[in-house]
Structure 1
Amino acid sequence: MKDYPQSVRRKDRQETDTSFLHEILDNAVSCSIAIEKEGYPLIHVAFYHFDAANNDIIFHFSKHGHAGDEITDGKKASISIYKYGRLYTAAKAVDFGCEYQSVIIYGTIRIIEGEQERMQAMSDFFDRYFAHIPDSSYEAFTAAQSKPIHVAKLRIEQWFGKEHALPAIATDAFFPAFPSVMQPREA
């Protein structure tokens, strides 16, 4: 790829205000990371932490397996972060759709090697998702326990957002009736 895309096809949905981009990054949980691999692209889904001060996306993954072999220093990557809303209907089936907000990020991966920086990144993850859990209810993680984990940063080199809200042509709107993960299935 020569250059990162500078815009989106649907200009009416493009969001360039950094406050919109930060809002999405601060209020979503996981991201999809795509990297070039010989044959098929590799996509990896991970929790992430947005380091706004340094304009970095930080994520972790196992050193074992496909991600550990392919997500390496200096590799270019794309990250997708999105949230969906209501599905909607309209007078014509071709106009049915879904509300959404998304951010696409392009950058270069850097694997964090230094133990102090790695442990700080792991602490940032923990603080983002589990800060409400009392310290007395668990044993804190150690540097030795995190050895099988790669922690990576992707410096945001280019990004853009999109938002599609309920259009005026919508005749009905509803949230999908899919169960959330690990919700008991009906027999």
Structure 2
Amino acid sequence: MPKIWIKDESVSRDFLRKQLVGVLALARDRVPYCIPVHFLYLDERNKIYIHSAKVGKKMDIIVENPKVSFLVYEVEKLVSANNPCDFATRYTSVIVHGHARILENSVEKSEILTELVRKYGSGNTAFPQVMPLQADKVAVIEINIKQISCKRNVDC
């Protein structure tokens, strides 16, 4: 079945918004480093936000090299066949390329973390706001999206 590149960015952005886990790809000294993360995508800002510990390999790499890629995907089904060459996977994927920075402003971090909690709390707005003092205990990574692409391998 055909692999289809989706040119309509609104499809890519809608898919990105609905996903729960993404894969952050970084590189240090030409060695890739990929990690699964929870994230928040804010369409109106064209940015992805990730919470993190303040120290660690991920943070060190971002400081050294802010160029990142970010992947979300969904496997719809596996297709088996009598001929192994005809096996396939039906999927949708979105790949983002951008630049990461670590947010410093406590108020901005608390706003982002509050939205992140609401996303993973199934939109429950009853969660209290994350306070700036709480936000200061973690890092928030902001990815400024430079390029976004979507691909599907679907049944016709």
Same fold, TM exceeding 0.5? yes
Give unpaired runs (5+ residues) of structure 2.
none
Q: CA deviation at 1:147?
A: 2.5
Q: CA deviation at 1:62?
A: 0.8
Going by fraction, where is strand more abundant, 1 or 2? 2
Q: CA deviation at 1:44?
A: 2.2
What TM-score comes out, normalization by structure 1 length? Answer: 0.74
Give unpaired runs (5+ residues) of structure 1.
1-10, 168-187
Task: Select 2:11's aligned residue among 20, 39, 42.
Answer: 20
Q: What's the % identity of the aligned pairs?
A: 22
Hey, what's the Cα distance between the residues in 1 that align with 2:84 and 2:141?
A: 43
- Bigger Rg, structure 1 or 2: 1
- The corresponding residue for 1:150 is 139
Structure with larger RCO (C-alpha < 8 A, sep 6+): 2
Hey, what's the Cα distance between the residues in 1 that align with 2:64 and 2:38?
A: 19
Q: Which amino acid aligns with 1:165?
A: V
Hey, what's the Cα distance between the residues in 2 that align with 1:70 and 1:111?
A: 11
Q: How many aligned residue pairs are there? A: 154
Once the two structures are superposed, residues 18-73 of structure 1 have per-residue CA deviations (whole angstroms, 9 ceiling, x without a partner) of 22102211211011111111252121221111110111111111112211222238
Task: Select 2:70's aligned residue among 45, 57, 79.
Answer: 79
CA contact 1:73–1:110 (8 Å) conserved in 2: no
- The corresponding residue for 1:180 is none
Q: CA deviation at 1:96?
A: 0.4
